[in-house]
Amino acid sequence: MDRRKSIQTIILGAGASALAFHGCKTDNGETTVNEDIPATDDTNYFGRTPEELDRIEKLQAEQLLNEHEMETVAALSTVILPPKEPHGGPIEAEVPEFIEFMGKDIPEMQTTLLGGLMWLDHTSNTEFGKEFKSASLDQQKQICDRICYHDMDVPLDQQPLEIQFFALMRNLTVSGYYTSKVGIADLGYKGNSPNVWDGVPQEVLDQHGVAYDPEWIAKCVDQSKRNEIAEWDENKNLLT
Amino acid sequence: MQIKEVPEEYDVIIVGSGAGGGMATKQLADAGYNVAVVEAGPFFDPADPKTMTQLKWPYDSPRRGAGTDRDFGEWDMAYGGWNIEGEPYTHEPGTKFRWFRSHMLGGRTNHWGRISLRFSQKDFKHKDVDGYGENWPIDYSDVSPYYDKVDKLIGVFGSKEGREDDPDGYFLPPPKPRLHELFYIKGAKKSNIPVIPGRLSMLTKRINNDRGVCFYCGQCSRSCSVYADFSSGSCLIFPAQKSGGKVKLFVNSVVREVTTNDEGKATGVSYISKDDRKEYKLRGKVVVLAASACSTARIMLNSKSKQHPNGLGNSSDLVGKYLHDSTGASGAGFIPDLMNRDVSYNEDGVGGMHVYSPWWGDHSKLDFPRGYHIEVWGGMGQPNYGFGFNANEFNKFFGLKVGGYGDQLRDDVKKYYGSVIGFGGRGESIARKDNYCEIDPTTVDEFGIPVLKFNYTHGETELKQAKHMQDTFEELIHNMGGEPLGKKPGKDQDYGLLPGGEIIHEVGTTRMGNDPKTSVTNKFSQLHDADNVFITDAGVFTSQADKNCTWTILALAWRASDYIIEQLKQQNI
């Protein structure tokens, strides 16, 4: 059974009330996880308190960016992080929706976001006679090239609005992508799933030129005995 | 409004359900007493799928884990935080203290770092060593049998190292170091800074058939749904209920004061129910205060009567005084040799450090009296809101442009993923009488209860220690071939010393001692002024040590509970 997949399925709401992993020794003596991990089929309830959920629902009912602004955000975010097979890009990662929500969740961002979007259209209209979202990729890049670097020696909030705006959009786009399902797959992060940690793989140790000290490892957990109940002698030596 | 009396009289009323309250509940209920636990927040069970955040993904939420509602991020399992609406606290102008509160069953134990260290003999008698602060009225030998019992009841991993100032316990075996921790070990060695396996209360091995074993998701701060880490609810309160103990939980109940009779003895508590916002009275033969160091002090100062005109147990005028938090400063470095990580394996590990550095310094050669330990973090963690901000900032170390956009950003994110190591220095501050919390006569919370006003500053001893931390971090980063992130904080920034309260190890407000004039409780955590009131939170700490306080809270709470049982049997209280 692919444990990773099944836990995801459960969390995404396949409906069992709990998931049991049955401990078994595989051929190479590895021990697996055999805890019953609670799971819920209520996919809309990600551990929020009722008050927290209320606030989220209230924010979701509000609208910060209108349709045109959402399309502009979508256009700009795909310039910032072009989609790439097989893990897509900002649209597949729902980055525009994420940015819309964060603008409401952290209102301090709003002026920079809204003002920046206006600046984009104004600049694009002035130079190319069309809104940013309708400009060609080449034209969009011409605009972005001007605002995508900032002076490293000056605090960002003391730099022109359009520079602050681009830096904010880049952060939200990259963060939005890499916290999405497709982005996490692109990153390759393997965690957030039950497992039995037994150290860094040898090839990784080799790659980085480090090694385990045998004396240190001798103190560490023998994972084949993880399910044996701990007992000690009176000198604090573990017997099991 | 008439105060409603609950008719039943309890043997013991316990205020608060965190480490100290949970332990008192377990011991007193197991001994057959009829116990009422009064908790300001809601019921909470880490295994309840409705409230569970363990194994959630950032994309389960529209804010991707951002910390808008919860100070430590959306998945952190502490309801409350630095500021709670309707429950303010104030400051003496020019001073700063940040007070973290978590109102829920189990309190802050649901999200804590689980670093579980014993104090040493020196920690109990540090005044004898350097003349600072005050000695505890007890020794390591008084507490060590309780440490032993706590180890076996709750479980803590670690390794026998035979270090005098870091006493060994009944340890479960520690997990193997992660990659960045191997770099840390190597870097520390170059400076002769010791590194040993971490000591955290998570079950790397089964200790009974009621709790699960760690499955290495690295999310102890979310409170473990299989009870493989120490949270007060899952390890103390629920087991007390299961073993047939008489435990009545009063949740959403904010204690206002301890009620007393003409002889000055406690008769119970009055509390406000959050559900109907009415005041109630509970009667009990014994009252155990475990609301957290500052909350307990607040309850006592608000419990004024003819017999206790200055507040309960405050004849010494010391309730609220000697407040001290661990010192804390942080540093981080970018380590080029940790770039281009192989992501093919899961290195979440446990939710905390697999290795750490206990204090190593020789104070005869240093200009500050007390030490600190170093906590290490890093690795390829779960991305959440904020991941990928300034994605290619480290380009500057290679003379490359920072910023831009396009395909390059993807490569940059992956190139630098897992290449940062961070340090937290956590040290001992000297308890001072002029660091205190008191009642602010001008302000009440939404329940009409007068609030705390804090007066807290750092002393020279703490600042010098923080400077040493920063110098050490710089050296460690250099040893690892890394580049420090951010500018090294100097004197004008207090060397990066965080404001009091931010480490969330606040202790000392009701300190124990033999002399009723210079302390609030005796060595059994019993009030000098009222013999049927006990304190089992960190208020009783005479001094803090360079260790986290929870394991000592647990040991002292157990010790106080044994004493309560003995005194009840002898009908002394």
Q: For B144-170, write each residue's pLDDT tens digit.
A: 999 999 999 999 999 999 999 999 999
Domain membership of residue A120 (yes or no) is: yes
Q: What pLDDT, on a 0 to 100 scale, did the predictor assign at position A24? A: 38
Alpha carbons B564 and B573: distance in angstroms, whole number: 8
Pair A63, A182 in one domain: yes
Pair A212, A103 in one domain: no
| Burial of residue B275 (number of CB atoms within 10 Å: 0-12, 13-18, 19+) | exposed
Average pLDDT, chain B: 97
What average pLDDT does this structure show over A50-59?
A: 95
Pair A80, A118 in one domain: yes
- Residue B457 is which amino acid? T
What average pLDDT does this structure show over A11-16?
A: 31
Domain membership of residue A122 (yes or no) is: yes
Residue B158's region, left for phi above 0, alpha for psi from -120 to 50, else beta, is: left
State how far the alpha carbon of B464 is from the alpha carbons of B94, B193, B386, in Å. 21, 19, 33
Q: What pLDDT, on a 0 to 100 scale, did the predictor assign at position A21? A: 38
Please, which pLDDT band fits residue B245 given cuts at 50, 70 and 90?
A: confident
Q: What pLDDT, on a 0 to 100 scale, did the predictor assign at position A17? A: 33
Alpha carbons B293 and B295: distance in angstroms, whole number: 6
Please check whether residue B291 is in contact with residue B255, taking contact to mean a CB–CB distance below 8 angstroms: yes
B163 CA: distance to closest CA in chain A (Å)? 14
Pair A177, A235 in one domain: no
Query: Does residue B170 sit in helix, strand or coil?
Result: coil
Judged against a pLDDT cut of 90, whether residue A40 lies above it is answered with no
Judged against a pLDDT cut of 50, whether residue A19 lies above it is answered with no
Q: Which regions of B54-118 does DSSP assign to beta strands (E)? A: 80-81, 90-91, 101-102
CB contact under 8 A, A37 and B348: no
- Per-residue model confidence as pLDDT tens digits over B431-477: 999 999 999 999 999 999 999 999 999 999 999 999 999 999 999 99
Domain membership of residue A156 (yes or no) is: yes
State how far the alpha carbon of B136 is from the alpha carbons of A106, B306, B540, in Å. 47, 31, 10
CB contact under 8 A, A191 and B68: no
State how far the alpha carbon of B250 is from the alpha carbons of A141, B120, B272, in Å. 62, 37, 11
Q: What pLDDT, on a 0 to 100 scale, did the predictor assign at position A8? A: 35
What average pLDDT does this structure show over B361-389?
A: 97
Q: What pLDDT, on a 0 to 100 scale, did the predictor assign at position B162? A: 98
Phi, psi angles (nearest 5°) of residue B336? -55, -35
Contact residues on chain A for B388, CB-CB shorter than 8 A: 171, 174-175, 177-178
Pair A106, A208 in one domain: no
Question: Which of B156, B410, B479 to probe by mutation at the A interface, max A CB count within 10 Å?
Answer: B410
Query: Does residue B26 sit in helix, strand or coil?
Result: helix
Domain membership of residue A118 (yes or no) is: yes
Query: Which of B57, B342, B396 is nearest residue A204 as measured by Cβ atoms?
Result: B342
CB contact under 8 A, B228 and A200: no
Please check whether residue B273 is in contact with residue B4, taking contact to mean a CB–CB distance below 8 angstroms: no
Query: Which of A174, A198, A227 is nearest residue B388 as measured by Cβ atoms?
Result: A174
CB contact under 8 A, A222 and B59: no
Judged against a pLDDT cut of 60, whether residue A2 lies above it is answered with no
B276 CA: distance to closest CA in chain A (Å)? 17
Show the tokens assigned to B11.
Answer: 């043997």
Domain membership of residue A43 (yes or no) is: no
What average pLDDT does this structure show over B85-91?
A: 97
Alpha carbons B430 and B465: distance in angstroms, whole number: 11
Domain membership of residue A31 (yes or no) is: no
Q: What pLDDT, on a 0 to 100 scale, did the predictor assign at position A25? A: 40
CB contact under 8 A, B179 and A208: yes
B278 CA: distance to closest CA in chain A (Å)? 21
Q: What percent of chain A has pLDDT over 70?
A: 85
**What residue has token string 């129910």?**
B273
DSSP one-letter string for B457-517: ---HHHHHHHHHHHHHHHHHHHHTT-EESSPPP-GGGGGGPPPBTTTS--B-TT-B-S-TT
CB contact under 8 A, B57 and A184: yes
- Per-residue model confidence as pLDDT tens digits over B279-330: 999 999 999 999 999 999 999 999 999 999 999 999 999 999 999 999 999 9
CB contact under 8 A, B417 and A187: yes
Query: Does residue B527 sit in helix, strand or coil?
Result: strand
What average pLDDT does this structure show over A87-100?
A: 98
Q: What percent of chain B has pLDDT over 70?
A: 100
CB contact under 8 A, B215 and A33: yes
Pair A238, A178 in one domain: no
- Per-residue model confidence as pLDDT tens digits over A134-190: 999 999 999 999 999 998 889 999 999 999 999 999 999 999 999 999 999 999 999
Please, which pLDDT band fits residue A44 given cuts at 50, 70 and 90?
A: low
Q: What pLDDT, on a 0 to 100 scale, did the predictor assign at position A42? A: 63
Please check whether residue B184 is in contact with residue B340, taking contact to mean a CB–CB distance below 8 angstroms: no
B149 CA: distance to closest CA in chain A (Å)? 12
Domain membership of residue A79 (yes or no) is: yes
Contact residues on chain B for A57, CB-CB shorter than 8 A: none
**What pTM was computed for the model?**
0.95
B76 CA: distance to closest CA in chain A (Å)? 10
Query: Which of A189, A209, A216 is nearest residue B383 as measured by Cβ atoms?
Result: A189
A125 CA: distance to closest CA in chain B (Å)? 22
What average pLDDT does this structure show over A44-68?
A: 93
What average pLDDT does this structure show over B520-547?
A: 98
Domain membership of residue A25 (yes or no) is: no
Judged against a pLDDT cut of 70, whether residue B193 lies above it is answered with yes
Pair A168, A210 in one domain: no
B334 CA: distance to closest CA in chain A (Å)? 15
CB contact under 8 A, A207 and B342: yes
Q: What percent of chain B has pLDDT over 90?
A: 98
State how far the alpha carbon of A239 is from the alpha carbons of B159, B168, B170, B232, B376, in Å. 14, 16, 11, 27, 30
Question: Which of A41, A106, A197, A227 to probe by mutation at the B interface, max B CB count within 10 Å?
Answer: A197
What average pLDDT does this structure show over A62-72?
A: 98
Pair A55, A106 in one domain: yes
CB contact under 8 A, A220 and B175: yes
Query: Which of A84, A175, A212 is nearest residue B410 as measured by Cβ atoms?
Result: A84
Pair A219, A178 in one domain: no
Pair A182, A198 in one domain: no
A126 CA: distance to closest CA in chain B (Å)? 23
Pair A82, A120 in one domain: yes
Judged against a pLDDT cut of 70, whether residue A213 lies above it is answered with yes
Pair A212, A129 in one domain: no
**Containing structural domain, residue A172:** 3-10+48-187
CB contact under 8 A, A198 and B176: yes
Q: What pLDDT, on a 0 to 100 scale, did the predictor assign at position A34? A: 78
Question: Which of A99, A168, A175 to probe by mutation at the B interface, max B CB count within 10 Å?
Answer: A175
In chain A, whose CA is at the least distance from the CA of B335? A208
Q: What pLDDT, on a 0 to 100 scale, did the predictor assign at position A31? A: 66
Alpha carbons B285 and B294: distance in angstroms, whole number: 24
All structural domains of chain B: 1-110+231-326+436-457+506-543+558-573 (3.50.50.60)
Q: How many CB atoms lie within 10 A of CB B567?
A: 17
State how far the alpha carbon of A184 is from the alpha carbons of A48, A178, A194, in Å. 23, 5, 17
Please, which pLDDT band fits residue A43 given cuts at 50, 70 and 90?
A: low
Number of domains in chain A: 2
- Per-residue model confidence as pLDDT tens digits over B404-420: 999 999 999 999 999 99
CB contact under 8 A, B387 and A179: yes
In chain B, whose CA is at the least distance from the CA of A235? B170
